[in-house]
Structure 1
Amino acid sequence: MRQISFFSVEASGPRLSDLAGVLCAQGRATAFGRTAARLQVVVEEPWRARLLAAEFAWRGVRVTLTTAECGSPLVRTAFQVDLLPMANAWLDGDDKIVPPGFRLDGGMLRLWALAAGRNEPRGYFFPFDPDAPQTHAPLTAALAAAGVPGPVVGPRGGGPAVRVRGRRRLDTLTELIGDPPPGAEARWPGGAVEVPDQPYVRSAMA
């Protein structure tokens, strides 16, 4: 019988705190005074938007799928009071920060993987937000503390990102984030078959 890590997504179940995974990537939080906040993330491929919408909905968060000014898919939550603590923790004024003492678990890693993760022959890449370099070092440390350490690679190497390599570390990562949802198999750790994308349709999820 396979032993499930206490920090895996299977052990913890869906939690609102998992949504911090998109903030580890290129996601952004916006607070509306002291009353509510929303999360949004621009992704590269439509399948990411669809699967993130499903993951958000599973955690009871309403989202809208639309298109950013750059033409890429955009996942955006409504303003919600229960998102305010997360937004406040990840914001220092207008700057995005990593909360002190931040720890990654399987749910957050899963959302990070869906927002930006890449499976390549050179390893599995967890991209950072290129516009928030102050988050890169603490997130690198958080990945190491979660049991999936790796070197930081720059833009020439496909980053900024942490690259996780080695069968043991990739097995640990797979255990933490769980099985890939349909359509993400090729981008999951150990994936080998490219999954054709589907047309992006603007819609709303609840």
Structure 2
Amino acid sequence: MSLSGFGDTPKAEPPPALFPAPEADAPTPARRRGGPARNGPSSQGDEAGRQLVFFGAEAAEPAVADLAGLLAGPGEVVRMGGTARLSVQVDAAWRVHVLVAELAARGLAASWEPTEGERHAVRTSYTRVLKPLAVAWLHGSTKRPPATFHLTGRRLRLWLAAAGTPEPPDGFLLWLGADEQECWEPIGVALAAAGLAGKLLGPGEGGPAYRITGRRRLARLAELVGAPPRAAPPTAWPPTRP
């Protein structure tokens, strides 16, 4: 069963009704770095705000490199000859819609199929476009972040769309690959560098996942990942500050 990233499906098999398909999000133009200065005195808070906007999900056009955010979570990449394919299992239908749209925005068609436990597998086709990502992340068949790995707003947005869940009252979980212990520590370092230092929950604590807690960090997470996709339930996304 497939759902193309470009909305193309076989004529004999219409897209499955996971729920009413949301309208496409309107693209947000990237902010210019050299815009006019704001009125009023500058402060550290203003500087932090500008930094959040610059590195946030709306600060740049979608790029294939953003898919490293899926690999920071439970996403997988495999190589075949000079091509590679990326896949990720998700636990909710809304995530399928969001990820298919995100992949389409990067020129990648995607398919999906139901799996055990009411989950869904989303995957791309094998393509040369993904080979650099696979080369950077794969050591043999083992997934490991490259030394230069860092988290941007768009990478965090994809990670959250695939494997982020709220933990009331003031926490958020970013889930990791279950059998990818070599990834966990460097990904935690990247989170801390983005101002989102979290606590690693191991399998014995209900993980693996990083728990982000505190209003300050959740506010930063919300600013970095941007507004929730239309398909996402309101409670599934980090709340923005009033």
Cross-structure match for 2:110: 63
Task: Give the aligned residue type for 2:102.
Answer: E
Q: 1:170 aligns with which of 218, 224, 232?
A: 218
Task: Specify the alignment match of 1:39 in structure 2.
Answer: 86
In the alignment, structure 1 residue 22 sits paired with structure 2 residue 66? no
- CA separation of 1:50 and 1:36: change in aligned 2, threshold 3 A: same
- What are the superposed Cα offsets for residues 146-174 of structure 1, whole Å, 9 maximum, x if unpaired? 11111112235432111111111111111
Residue in 2 that maps onto 1:143: 191
Question: 5 Å matches for 1:67-86?
Answer: 67-68=114-115, 72-86=119-133
Contact 2:86 2:123 in 1 (8 A): yes
The Cα offsets for residues 2-50 of structure 1, whole Å up to 9 and x where unpaired, read as: 74522111112211111111111111101112x1111011111111111
Report Cα offsets for 1:48-98 as digits up to 9, x if no partner: 111111111111111011223665211110111110000111111111111
1:111-170 per-residue CA deviation (whole Å, 9 max, x = no partner) reads 000110011115011111111111000000000001111111223543211111111111
Distance in 1 (alpha carbons) for counterparts of 2:118 and 2:199: 31
Task: Return the TM-score normalized by structure 2.
Answer: 0.74
Q: Within the alignment, does 1:190 sit opposite 2:239 as a pair?
A: yes
The residue type paired with residue 118 of structure 1 is T
Runs ≥4 in structure 1, deviation > 6 angstroms? none
Q: 1:109 matched to which residue of 2?
A: 156
Instruction: Report if aligned partners of 2:84, 2:126 keep a CA contact under 8 Å in 1.
Output: yes
Whole-Å separation in 2 of the counterparts to 1:112 and 1:10: 15
Greater Cα offset, 140-149 or 176-185? 176-185
Instruction: Write the letter of the residue equivalent to 1:23.
Output: L
Partners of 2:214 and 2:117 in 1: CA distance? 36
Which 5+ residue runs of structure 2 have no aligned equivalent? Answer: 1-37, 39-48
How many percent identity over aligned positions? 43
Paired positions, count: 190
Using the size of structure 1 for normalisation, the TM-score is 0.86
Which residue of structure 2 aligns with residue 133 of structure 1? 181
Q: Which of structures 1 and 2 has the larger relative contact order (alpha carbons within 8 angstroms, sep 6+)?
A: 1
Match of 1:204 in 2: none
Residue 178 of structure 1: CA displacement?
Answer: 0.4
Q: More deviation in 52-61 or 155-164?
A: 155-164
1:119 and 1:190 in contact (8 A); partners too: no
